[in-house]
Amino acid sequence: MQSRGLLYPCFCTRKDIQKESDAAGGAPHGLEGPLYPAICRSLSEVERQSRIAAGESCALRLDVDRAVAEVGSHLEWIDVGRGIQRAEPQKPGDVVLVRKDIGCSYHLAVVVDDAVQEVTRVTRGEDLFEATHLHRLLQALLGLKSPEYEHHALMCDSDGRRLAKRNDAETLRSLRHRGVSADEIIKRLVVCLG
């Protein structure tokens, strides 16, 4: 993708992006916070190389407009519960594909991993539905098949917060350790999922 001119270095921090978003009156938000306002997309190649040579850390972002121009805007995927979905990969903006702190982003990793493992159905939470727009674009750019997707409802606690490690949600193991029966756990899941 880099040799095709689809990636560019981004030197912005989250703080820089938030500052730009605030200055624009609270710009729209995407998958990972405020949409990136493409600050570094317009940097000249000379400035990019100069900053890299100076040791300034950077991530690599996908130029989504250029990527869509290359593959076309008629990308679709199948969602088991919703049928054929038309991809709108511009929704998340120019996302990071190679992060400053690790080799590649979640988005690139899952697309490649699914293809390598010949996954035919991806089942994941509803919170990742919007990411599928981008994943479908990445599949097209890399010449990979698109699996079917199934996005399930999220399980939430009594306060409506999703059950997740980041929220210190109780695990199935801890429930079972406390003596909660499998039947009781299933009843709770049914209530959570409506």
Residues with Cβ within 8 Å of 72's Cβ and at least 6 positions away in sequence, in order, are 140
Could you give the CA distance from residue 161 to residue 192 in angstroms, rounded to a whole number?
11
Rounded to two decimals, what is the model's pTM? 0.81
pLDDT value at position 89?
92
Q: Helix 64-71 to helix 131-142 angle, to the nearest 10 degrees?
A: 60
Predicted confidence at residue 135, as pLDDT, reads: 97
User: Model confidence over 80-97: pLDDT tens digits?
Assistant: 999 999 999 998 889 999
According to the model, what pLDDT value does residue 161 have?
75
**Under 8 Å between Cβ of 152 and 123:** yes
What architecture is domain 7-152? 3-Layer(aba) Sandwich (3.40)
Domain ranges within the chain, ordered by starting residue = 7-152, 155-194
Give the DSSP per-residue string, 115-182. HHTT-SEEEEEGGGTTHHHHHHHHHHHHT-PPPEEEEEPPPB-TTS-B--GGGTPPPHHHHHHTT--H
Report d(CA 96, CA 31) in Å as an integer: 11
Can you list the residues of the chain whose pLDDT is less than 50?
27-28
Residue type, 43: L
The pair phi, psi for residue 43, each rounded to 5°, is: -65, 145
| Both structure tokens of 152 | 């399930």
Residue 176 is predicted with a pLDDT of 86
